[in-house]
Amino acid sequence: DADVTQTPRNRITKTGKRIMLECSQTKGHDRMYWYRQDPGLGLRLIYYSFDVKDINKGEISDGYSVSRQAQAKFSLSLESAIPNQTALYFCATSDSQGTGTDTQYFGPGTRLTVL
Amino acid sequence: SQKIEQNSEALNIQEGKTATLTCNYTNYSPAYLQWYRQDPGRGPVFLLLIRENEKEKRKERLKVTFDTTLKQSLFHITASQPADSATYLCALKLNDYKLSFGAGTTVTVRA
């Protein structure tokens, strides 16, 4: 079984709809992240969480919110989806107690299309 | 401002040749640099990490160098194979929380 899973894998929605993307991990890592990837722009950090009680904005958090329901679960919500939020979304984890390098372990991604 | 740049153009090479990718950065003093591989429609996968006090790191057919004076890392795939075709991302840690990624270089290895 995959260590980092994301649901759904693909989603098509309409402008104005609220949508939630979910991420679960079995790696036992304390840190979790949400990124979006757009062609030519690389990965951009939306939100990150260092533990269940710690949530922080990344570089492009406007229009998004997150919830860390448990150490293993981190969900991303789009409150009112707009077309420029069409992108590939990745969840990632890292272990602060490991090598100290925050090597990231990514999920398979969610392809979101907002019409 | 801080910036990470990778080869902007895709790299097409013949099987068996060495692919060399560059990652340049400005205004950073990273303690280490990471390289990831990403296949189409999939999440990046960690390949190698090199620290500022290491000049070179190897893993099987992969070799990474890190020149903190030039602010550059080179990523080499030796004896390349079609299965090496993917996008390769470099990443630097800016501070305690943020790992910044380059846009990636796409490598295609022709049989």
Cα distance between residue A43 and residue A90, in whole Å? 9
**Would you call A42 and B103 a contact, using CB atoms and an 8 Å cutoff?**
yes
Q: pLDDT at residue A22 above 90?
A: yes
A105: closest CA of chain B, how far (Å) = 7
Q: What is the predicted pLDDT for the residue at B48?
A: 94
Closest CA to A31 of B96, B48, B43: B96
B99 touches chain A (CB under 8 A): yes
B75: closest CA of chain A, how far (Å) = 18
Q: pLDDT at residue A113 above 90?
A: yes
Q: What is the predicted pLDDT for the residue at B96?
A: 62
Q: pLDDT at residue A68 above 80?
A: yes
Could you say which of B42, B98, B102 has the minimum Cβ distance to residue A109? B42
**Would you call A106 and B89 a contact, using CB atoms and an 8 Å cutoff?**
no
B89 touches chain A (CB under 8 A): yes
Task: Please provide the DSSP assignment of B67-111 as one string.
Answer: ETTTTEEEEEE-S--GGG-EEEEEEEE-SSS-EEE---EEEEEE-
Q: Which residues of chain A make contact with B103, given a CB cutoff of 8 A?
A: 40-42
Mean pLDDT of A18-28: 96
A17: closest CA of chain B, how far (Å) = 24
B34 touches chain A (CB under 8 A): yes
Q: What is the predicted pLDDT for the residue at A35?
A: 97
- What are A105's two structure tokens? 């372990």
